[in-house]
A and B are shown apart, each in its own frame.
Chain A
Protein backbone atom coordinates (compact mmCIF):
# COMPACT_ATOMS: atom_id res chain seq x y z
CA UNK A 1 0.00 0.00 0.00
CA UNK A 2 2.80 2.38 0.99
CA UNK A 3 4.75 1.40 -2.14
CA UNK A 4 1.73 2.06 -4.34
CA UNK A 5 1.21 5.47 -2.73
CA UNK A 6 4.90 6.25 -3.21
CA UNK A 7 4.74 5.18 -6.86
CA UNK A 8 1.72 7.39 -7.60
CA UNK A 9 3.31 10.35 -5.81
CA UNK A 10 6.52 9.82 -7.81
CA UNK A 11 4.56 9.85 -11.09
CA UNK A 12 2.64 13.01 -10.14
CA UNK A 13 5.80 14.83 -8.97
CA UNK A 14 7.63 13.74 -12.15
CA UNK A 15 4.90 15.17 -14.36
CA UNK A 16 4.90 18.44 -12.43
CA UNK A 17 8.72 18.57 -12.65
CA UNK A 18 8.73 17.91 -16.41
CA UNK A 19 6.13 20.66 -16.94
CA UNK A 20 8.14 23.22 -14.92
CA UNK A 21 11.34 22.18 -16.73
CA UNK A 22 9.69 22.57 -20.14
CA UNK A 23 8.40 26.06 -19.28
CA UNK A 24 11.83 27.15 -17.94
CA UNK A 25 13.65 25.84 -21.05
CA UNK A 26 11.06 27.53 -23.29
CA UNK A 27 11.74 30.89 -21.62
CA UNK A 28 15.53 30.36 -21.77
CA UNK A 29 15.38 29.55 -25.49
CA UNK A 30 12.88 32.33 -26.20
CA UNK A 31 14.52 35.42 -27.72
CA UNK A 32 13.21 38.97 -27.42
CA UNK A 33 11.52 40.16 -30.60
CA UNK A 34 11.11 43.86 -31.35
CA UNK A 35 7.60 45.17 -30.83
CA UNK A 36 7.84 47.92 -33.47
CA UNK A 37 10.09 48.92 -36.36
CA UNK A 38 12.94 51.33 -35.74
CA UNK A 39 16.66 51.87 -35.95
CA UNK A 40 19.44 50.78 -33.59
CA UNK A 41 23.02 51.88 -33.39
CA UNK A 42 25.62 49.11 -33.13
CA UNK A 43 29.18 50.04 -32.19
CA UNK A 44 32.14 47.66 -32.17
CA UNK A 45 34.96 48.74 -29.85
CA UNK A 46 38.34 47.02 -29.77
CA UNK A 47 40.61 46.21 -26.80
CA UNK A 48 42.26 49.65 -26.97
CA UNK A 49 38.91 51.44 -26.91
CA UNK A 50 39.00 52.34 -30.61
CA UNK A 51 35.72 52.30 -32.52
CA UNK A 52 36.09 49.67 -35.26
CA UNK A 53 32.59 50.08 -36.63
CA UNK A 54 29.60 52.30 -35.95
CA UNK A 55 26.43 51.44 -37.87
CA UNK A 56 22.81 52.55 -37.69
CA UNK A 57 20.67 49.60 -38.68
CA UNK A 58 16.94 49.57 -39.39
CA UNK A 59 14.82 46.74 -38.03
CA UNK A 60 11.25 45.58 -38.45
CA UNK A 61 8.67 44.49 -35.91
CA UNK A 62 9.42 40.92 -34.78
CA UNK A 63 13.16 41.08 -35.51
CA UNK A 64 15.63 39.44 -33.11
CA UNK A 65 18.94 41.04 -32.21
CA UNK A 66 20.94 37.93 -33.12
CA UNK A 67 19.35 37.91 -36.60
CA UNK A 68 20.10 41.62 -37.06
CA UNK A 69 23.78 41.01 -36.25
CA UNK A 70 24.00 37.99 -38.55
CA UNK A 71 22.43 39.94 -41.41
CA UNK A 72 24.69 42.96 -41.08
CA UNK A 73 28.07 41.64 -39.95
CA UNK A 74 30.51 38.93 -41.01
CA UNK A 75 31.83 36.10 -38.85
CA UNK A 76 28.94 36.22 -36.32
CA UNK A 77 28.94 33.08 -34.18
CA UNK A 78 27.11 32.11 -31.00
CA UNK A 79 27.74 29.41 -28.41
CA UNK A 80 25.02 28.61 -25.84
CA UNK A 81 23.42 31.94 -26.74
CA UNK A 82 26.65 33.88 -26.14
CA UNK A 83 28.18 36.01 -28.86
CA UNK A 84 31.56 34.42 -29.51
CA UNK A 85 32.69 36.34 -32.57
CA UNK A 86 31.74 39.22 -34.82
CA UNK A 87 33.82 40.68 -37.65
CA UNK A 88 37.43 40.60 -36.36
CA UNK A 89 36.45 40.20 -32.69
CA UNK A 90 36.73 36.67 -31.32
CA UNK A 91 36.37 35.39 -27.75
CA UNK A 92 39.56 33.55 -26.79
CA UNK A 93 39.31 29.83 -26.01
CA UNK A 94 40.61 30.48 -22.48
CA UNK A 95 38.24 33.45 -22.06
CA UNK A 96 41.21 35.78 -21.54
CA UNK A 97 39.35 38.13 -23.91
CA UNK A 98 35.61 38.21 -24.55
CA UNK A 99 32.92 40.42 -26.05
CA UNK A 100 31.07 42.54 -23.48
CA UNK A 101 27.67 43.91 -24.37
CA UNK A 102 26.57 47.38 -23.35
CA UNK A 103 23.06 48.72 -23.88
CA UNK A 104 22.89 52.51 -23.97
CA UNK A 105 26.36 52.56 -22.35
CA UNK A 106 25.31 50.34 -19.42
CA UNK A 107 26.71 46.79 -19.19
CA UNK A 108 23.96 44.35 -20.09
CA UNK A 109 23.00 41.97 -17.31
CA UNK A 110 21.14 39.71 -19.71
CA UNK A 111 22.36 37.73 -22.70
CA UNK A 112 22.12 39.02 -26.24
CA UNK A 113 18.86 37.18 -26.94
CA UNK A 114 17.11 38.84 -23.97
CA UNK A 115 18.14 42.43 -24.67
CA UNK A 116 15.10 44.62 -25.12
CA UNK A 117 15.73 47.08 -27.95
CA UNK A 118 13.61 49.89 -29.31
CA UNK A 119 14.08 52.68 -31.81
CA UNK A 120 17.28 54.57 -30.88
CA UNK A 121 18.82 51.89 -28.65
CA UNK A 122 22.62 51.84 -28.75
CA UNK A 123 24.29 48.45 -28.50
CA UNK A 124 28.05 48.48 -27.94
CA UNK A 125 30.03 45.29 -28.42
CA UNK A 126 33.27 45.83 -26.57
CA UNK A 127 36.27 43.54 -26.80
CA UNK A 128 37.30 43.09 -23.17
CA UNK A 129 40.30 41.59 -21.43
CA UNK A 130 39.55 39.35 -18.42
CA UNK A 131 41.32 40.88 -15.45
CA UNK A 132 42.10 38.76 -12.40
CA UNK A 133 41.71 41.02 -9.36
Chain B
Protein backbone atom coordinates (compact mmCIF):
# COMPACT_ATOMS: atom_id res chain seq x y z
CA UNK B 1 0.00 0.00 0.00
CA UNK B 2 1.45 3.38 -1.04
CA UNK B 3 1.31 6.72 0.79
CA UNK B 4 -1.20 7.86 -1.82
CA UNK B 5 -3.45 4.90 -0.95
CA UNK B 6 -3.22 5.76 2.75
CA UNK B 7 -4.05 9.41 2.00
CA UNK B 8 -7.08 8.36 -0.06
CA UNK B 9 -8.27 6.05 2.73
CA UNK B 10 -7.92 8.84 5.31
CA UNK B 11 -9.84 11.37 3.20
CA UNK B 12 -12.62 8.93 2.34
CA UNK B 13 -12.94 7.81 5.97
CA UNK B 14 -13.25 11.46 6.99
CA UNK B 15 -16.02 12.00 4.40
CA UNK B 16 -17.84 8.88 5.61
CA UNK B 17 -17.64 9.95 9.23
CA UNK B 18 -18.46 13.62 8.61
CA UNK B 19 -21.65 12.92 6.63
CA UNK B 20 -22.93 10.67 9.42
CA UNK B 21 -22.25 13.39 11.98
CA UNK B 22 -23.81 16.10 9.81
CA UNK B 23 -26.97 14.11 9.07
CA UNK B 24 -27.80 13.12 12.66
CA UNK B 25 -30.65 15.69 12.67
CA UNK B 26 -32.50 13.54 10.10
CA UNK B 27 -33.83 10.33 11.66
CA UNK B 28 -31.74 7.42 10.34
CA UNK B 29 -31.08 9.20 7.02
CA UNK B 30 -27.45 8.76 6.02
CA UNK B 31 -25.18 8.34 3.01
CA UNK B 32 -23.17 5.53 4.59
CA UNK B 33 -24.50 2.70 2.41
CA UNK B 34 -24.12 4.80 -0.74
CA UNK B 35 -20.52 5.73 0.13
CA UNK B 36 -19.60 2.16 1.05
CA UNK B 37 -21.07 0.89 -2.23
CA UNK B 38 -19.05 3.52 -4.11
CA UNK B 39 -15.84 2.79 -2.19
CA UNK B 40 -16.32 -0.97 -2.62
CA UNK B 41 -16.69 -0.66 -6.38
CA UNK B 42 -13.82 1.80 -6.82
CA UNK B 43 -11.27 0.78 -4.18
CA UNK B 44 -11.90 -2.92 -3.73
CA UNK B 45 -12.28 -5.12 -0.68
CA UNK B 46 -9.10 -4.42 1.31
CA UNK B 47 -9.11 -0.61 1.22
CA UNK B 48 -12.85 -0.38 1.85
CA UNK B 49 -12.52 -2.81 4.77
CA UNK B 50 -9.83 -0.57 6.30
CA UNK B 51 -12.12 2.46 5.91
CA UNK B 52 -14.93 0.51 7.60
CA UNK B 53 -12.65 -0.56 10.46
CA UNK B 54 -11.53 3.01 11.23
CA UNK B 55 -15.06 4.37 10.76
CA UNK B 56 -16.60 1.73 13.06
CA UNK B 57 -14.06 2.42 15.82
CA UNK B 58 -14.61 6.21 15.55
CA UNK B 59 -18.38 5.70 15.43
CA UNK B 60 -18.30 3.57 18.58
CA UNK B 61 -16.04 6.02 20.41
CA UNK B 62 -17.97 9.15 19.54
CA UNK B 63 -21.60 8.18 18.92
CA UNK B 64 -21.62 4.87 20.80
CA UNK B 65 -20.24 6.30 24.04
CA UNK B 66 -17.32 3.82 24.00
CA UNK B 67 -19.76 0.91 24.18
CA UNK B 68 -17.61 -1.60 22.29
CA UNK B 69 -20.22 -4.37 22.60
CA UNK B 70 -21.75 -3.09 19.35
CA UNK B 71 -18.42 -2.80 17.46
CA UNK B 72 -18.24 -6.37 16.03
CA UNK B 73 -21.85 -6.08 14.86
CA UNK B 74 -21.25 -2.69 13.20
CA UNK B 75 -18.22 -4.20 11.46
CA UNK B 76 -20.16 -7.28 10.37
CA UNK B 77 -23.03 -5.17 9.05
CA UNK B 78 -20.89 -2.84 6.96
CA UNK B 79 -18.23 -5.29 5.80
CA UNK B 80 -20.89 -7.31 3.99
CA UNK B 81 -21.00 -4.51 1.41
CA UNK B 82 -17.40 -4.72 0.10
CA UNK B 83 -17.36 -8.50 0.46
CA UNK B 84 -20.48 -9.10 -1.65
CA UNK B 85 -19.75 -6.29 -4.15
CA UNK B 86 -16.31 -7.73 -4.81
CA UNK B 87 -17.45 -11.35 -5.09
CA UNK B 88 -21.02 -12.37 -5.96
CA UNK B 89 -22.07 -8.90 -7.18
CA UNK B 90 -18.71 -8.00 -8.76
CA UNK B 91 -20.21 -7.59 -12.24
CA UNK B 92 -23.09 -5.37 -11.13
CA UNK B 93 -22.56 -1.80 -12.43
CA UNK B 94 -26.14 -0.59 -12.96
CA UNK B 95 -27.15 2.15 -10.51
CA UNK B 96 -30.66 0.67 -10.37
CA UNK B 97 -29.49 -2.80 -9.34
CA UNK B 98 -26.95 -1.29 -6.91
CA UNK B 99 -29.70 0.83 -5.35
CA UNK B 100 -31.84 -2.28 -4.87
CA UNK B 101 -28.81 -3.95 -3.27
CA UNK B 102 -28.58 -0.85 -1.06
CA UNK B 103 -32.00 -1.77 0.38
CA UNK B 104 -30.73 -5.29 1.09
CA UNK B 105 -27.51 -4.00 2.73
CA UNK B 106 -29.47 -1.56 4.90
CA UNK B 107 -31.86 -4.26 6.09
CA UNK B 108 -29.04 -6.72 6.79
CA UNK B 109 -27.18 -4.03 8.75
CA UNK B 110 -30.34 -3.26 10.76
CA UNK B 111 -31.08 -6.93 11.42
CA UNK B 112 -27.53 -7.64 12.66
CA UNK B 113 -28.27 -5.11 15.42
CA UNK B 114 -31.05 -7.42 16.64
CA UNK B 115 -28.43 -9.71 18.22
CA UNK B 116 -26.80 -7.22 20.65
CA UNK B 117 -30.02 -5.27 21.21
CA UNK B 118 -32.10 -8.30 22.15
CA UNK B 119 -29.23 -9.61 24.27
CA UNK B 120 -28.67 -6.31 26.12
CA UNK B 121 -32.23 -5.03 26.39
CA UNK B 122 -33.90 -8.42 26.88
CA UNK B 123 -36.63 -7.64 24.33
CA UNK B 124 -38.18 -10.25 22.01
CA UNK B 125 -37.03 -10.35 18.38
CA UNK B 126 -40.51 -9.64 17.00
CA UNK B 127 -41.10 -6.74 19.39
CA UNK B 128 -37.71 -5.30 18.43
CA UNK B 129 -38.47 -5.67 14.72
CA UNK B 130 -41.88 -4.02 15.15
CA UNK B 131 -40.36 -1.07 17.02
CA UNK B 132 -37.48 -0.73 14.54
CA UNK B 133 -39.43 -1.23 11.30
CA UNK B 134 -39.96 2.44 10.40
CA UNK B 135 -36.32 3.28 11.12
CA UNK B 136 -35.25 0.39 8.89
CA UNK B 137 -37.50 1.68 6.11
CA UNK B 138 -35.92 5.16 6.35
CA UNK B 139 -32.39 3.72 6.22
CA UNK B 140 -33.26 1.39 3.33
CA UNK B 141 -35.01 4.05 1.25
CA UNK B 142 -32.38 6.73 1.93
CA UNK B 143 -29.73 4.25 0.77
CA UNK B 144 -31.82 3.34 -2.28
CA UNK B 145 -32.36 6.97 -3.28
CA UNK B 146 -28.79 8.13 -2.74
CA UNK B 147 -27.31 5.22 -4.71
CA UNK B 148 -29.89 5.63 -7.46
CA UNK B 149 -29.25 9.37 -7.89
CA UNK B 150 -25.63 9.84 -6.82
CA UNK B 151 -23.82 6.63 -7.79
CA UNK B 152 -23.30 7.36 -11.51
CA UNK B 153 -22.08 10.99 -11.20
CA UNK B 154 -19.89 10.20 -8.18
CA UNK B 155 -18.51 7.12 -9.90
CA UNK B 156 -17.45 9.24 -12.90
CA UNK B 157 -15.94 11.87 -10.59
CA UNK B 158 -14.07 9.19 -8.69
CA UNK B 159 -12.64 7.75 -11.92
CA UNK B 160 -11.59 11.23 -13.09
CA UNK B 161 -9.79 11.99 -9.80
CA UNK B 162 -8.03 8.62 -9.74
CA UNK B 163 -7.07 8.90 -13.42
CA UNK B 164 -5.75 12.46 -12.93
CA UNK B 165 -3.59 11.26 -10.07
CA UNK B 166 -2.24 8.42 -12.22
CA UNK B 167 -1.47 10.91 -15.02
CA UNK B 168 0.41 13.19 -12.59
CA UNK B 169 2.46 10.22 -11.37
Residues of A within 8 A of B (CB): 6, 9-10, 13-14, 17-18, 20-21, 24-25, 27-29, 80, 93-96, 107, 109-110, 130, 132-133
Contacts and interface: CB of A to CB of B under 8 A. Distances in A.
Closest 3 CB pairs of A and B: A24-B137, A17-B145, A94-B65
Interface string B52-67: 0000000000000111
A13 B96 contact: yes
Contact of A109 (B120, B127, B144): B127
A29 B135 CA distance: 11
B134 interface: yes
Contacts of A93: 65
Interface band, chain B: 20 to 34
B83 interface: no
Contact of B134 (A27, A96, A107, A130): A27
A24 B149 contact: no
B63 to A, nearest CB: 11
B141 to A, nearest CB: 5
B12 interface: no
A29 B28 CA distance: 12
Contact of B96 (A9, A18, A96): A9
A75 B127 CA distance: 31
A80 B99 contact: no
Main secondary structure of the interface of A (DSSP, over half): helix
Given A109-B127, A109-B128, A24 B134 contact: yes
Contacts of A130: 67
A10 B135 contact: no
Contacts of A20: 137, 141
18 contacts: A6-B96, A9-B96, A13-B96, A13-B144, A14-B148, A21-B29, A21-B138, A21-B141, A24-B137, A25-B138, A28-B135, A29-B27, A93-B65, A95-B65, A95-B67, A109-B127, A132-B69, A133-B120
B128 A17 contact: no
A107 B95 CA distance: 43
B138 A13 contact: no
A10 to B, nearest CB: 6
